[in-house]
Amino acid sequence: MEFIVNMKNLFVILLVLLSCISCVSRKEIVYFIDDEVTTKEFKEFNLSSQNNVTIKTNDQLAITVTALEQEAAIPFNLPMVGTGTILDNELTPNRTQPQIQTYLVSNDGEIDFPVLGEINVLGLTRNELAALLKEKIALYIKNPMVIVRISNFRITVLGEVARPGTFSVSDEYISLPKALGLAGDLTIYGKRKNIKVLREEGEKMIQMSLDLTDPGIVESPYYYLRQNDIVYVEPNKPQRQAANYNRNASVYISVASVLVSLIVLIAR
């Protein structure tokens, strides 16, 4: 009888341990928590004003010049070459479609533009560069229109997310939650209060930690990502501790609990 009681106690202890492992605080997995805000109230936050993406060295710029007299704009456009179809910024074979050439920003921050020659574009936004080119091209043709895009705008998401990887962004306007969405969102083991954003600033790499549970995150200058930013989701403490043990530990615990149950039944 004493053996049966001990085995029952061991079984209860195992169940308690398993329930503790599976329990996760709501505040650890919910985004944008604000205990002061109720369902009948709302708060306003100012979006970061520092979301203007500027042109950096090694950026690839797709620049298109048009005008009412399209033939007059031809000299200001690079020729279209190659075959393929552009789908999600990847070249897919077996279809014929010209590919737009791009301007590579040199280490000096310049591009070699047709007719106009060398132009320094470093630190300019897309709109600023478009306005500058429009002003210069207006000396040659009437009412030109200029569209500038950064064709190699990419961000990388690593760590505790469903689909880590590098992602191309077509509109160059992406927030941290959208980037995490591209990666399939955080896993249950992701540390939501310490999301790291790594950003190249000149010759330095800046690291900033952001708290996804804080609604005020939208006011951070790192809320909107820039080209080549790296987002890293750190694993939470249980996940880090689990890495030090056998990955099959949970399986062993489950098997042990089943064996204990069988022993208790047999002992009856």
Contact 63, 127 (CB under 8 A): no
Phi, psi of 181 (to 5 degrees): -65, -40
Would you place residue 163 in the very low, low, confident or very high pLDDT band (cuts 50, 70, 90)? very high
| Cβ–Cβ under 8 Å, residues 235 and 229 | no
- Calculate mean pLDDT across residues 46-58: 77
Radius of gyration of the chain (CA): 28
- Residue 185, both tokens: 């969102």
Residue type for 60, please? Q
Predicted confidence (pLDDT) per residue in 109-136, tens digit: 999 999 999 999 999 999 999 999 999 9
Count of helix runs (H) and strand runs (E) in the chain: 6, 14
The domains located in the chain, with CATH, are 2-26+249-267 (no CATH), 31-50+153-235 (3.10.560.10), 60-150 (3.30.1950.10)
Give pTM, 2 decimals.
0.68
DSSP 8-state class, residue 181: H
Residue 111 CA to residue 108 CA, distance in Å, equals: 9
Question: Do residues 121 and 128 lie in contact, with contact meaning Cβ atoms separated by under 8 Å?
Answer: no
Between CA 109 and CA 118 the distance in angstroms is 10
